[in-house]
Amino acid sequence: MQFQLLLEDIVATLRPQLGLAGQVANYIPALARVPAAQLGIALRTCDGEEAHAGDGTTQFSIQSISKLFTLALGMRELGEALWERIGREPSGNPFNSLVQLESEHGIPRNPFINAGAIAVTDRLVSRFDARAEMLAFLSSLCQEPVVVDQEVAASEAATGFRNIALANFMKSFGRLDNEVTAVLGAYFHHCAIRMSCLQLARATGFLSRDGAHPFTGAQVLTERQARRVNALMLTCGTYDAAGEFAFRIGLPCKSGVGGGIVAVVPDRLTLCVWSPALEHSGNSLLGMKALELFTAKTGLSIF
Ligand code: GLN
């Protein structure tokens, strides 16, 4: 398949729509300043072929895409014990919602809503320097140094009232082992990591290769664990729009409010799209359209 031509075609098709609809995330001031009219796409196949188009090598704030890597580290470090304090069901609620936490005794529905990622981060903070470990993990996966945007991290910390509430709520139920400030410090830094579509297409490669590292082939996760991450991406990876994603795109995806979305075609390739303007659930509007075009044109889907 001519992936390079295909990605260029998708960008050319969508470019006239840039800046017309959707809104850049505005609840984090440093993200509200990002120009909306950008669109990037990149992929890497299991054989190592790469392609990118538009702004595919521009770095952006990965935001909730980091939750994928937090989960992978949590699975690697804790195995089955990870699931003691976290569920595996879609929440059907916005990613930063507090409502279910009360009735469900401080146990988040899944690792991809904010409360879930904060709970997994707590377990990581108990084991090692979670900020440094995450950067080392991502740098190894994409074979390039990965860094945190300190301005975004500070902006999140200054305005993260809901996340502070979520963490305190879980702490009140005895579900966090560490101090709220330590856990949130790591969580905000993970969200504020900057990467490009191409770097994310590389870094997620282990999810299309049954857990094997995209460059070295070493097992990052077991085959079973990698499949489970994909299952959770399909059911919970795009907030309360996961049903719409399965319906329109048909691939396991994980999105972030920076406008990035990663998608996995098991045994074939990993793909990342980025465009900062979001729809109402917090998913990239043109990113969703780009993924829909990609699956329509290639026929690639898990269904
Ligand atoms: N840093 C963001 C937050 O905690 C991440 C949310 C997201 O990308 N959905 O609110």
3-state DSSP call for residue 152?
Answer: helix
Percent of the chain with pLDDT over 70: 100
- Nearest residue to 290 (alpha-carbon basis) of 240, 245, 257: 245
Does residue 95 have a pLDDT over 90?
no
Structure tokens at 138: 């991502």
Q: Which of 229, 237, 230 is nearest to 91 (CA)?
A: 237
For the chain, which domains are there? 3-63+193-298 (3.40.710.10), 64-191 (3.40.710.10)
From the CA of 65, give the closest atom in ligand 1: 8
> pLDDT, tens digit, for every residue of 282-297?
999 999 999 999 999 9
Q: Look up residue 134 and give its two tokens.
A: 């995450």
pTM: 0.97
Is 152:21 a contact under the CB 8 Å cutoff?
no
Ligand 1 atom at shortest distance from the alpha carbon of 156? 1
Q: In which element (H, E) is residue 158 found? A: helix 150-159
Confidence of residue 240 (pLDDT cuts 50, 70, 90): confident
CA 212 to ligand 1 center in whole angstroms: 28
- Find the 67 Cα to ligand 1 centroid distance in Å: 9
Question: Which residues have CB under 6 Å of ligand 1?
Answer: 63-64, 95-96, 114, 156, 163, 191, 256-257, 282
Q: Which residues contact 98 (CB under 8 A, 6 or more apart)?
A: 115, 162, 165, 166, 169
What are the tokens at 89? 């069901």
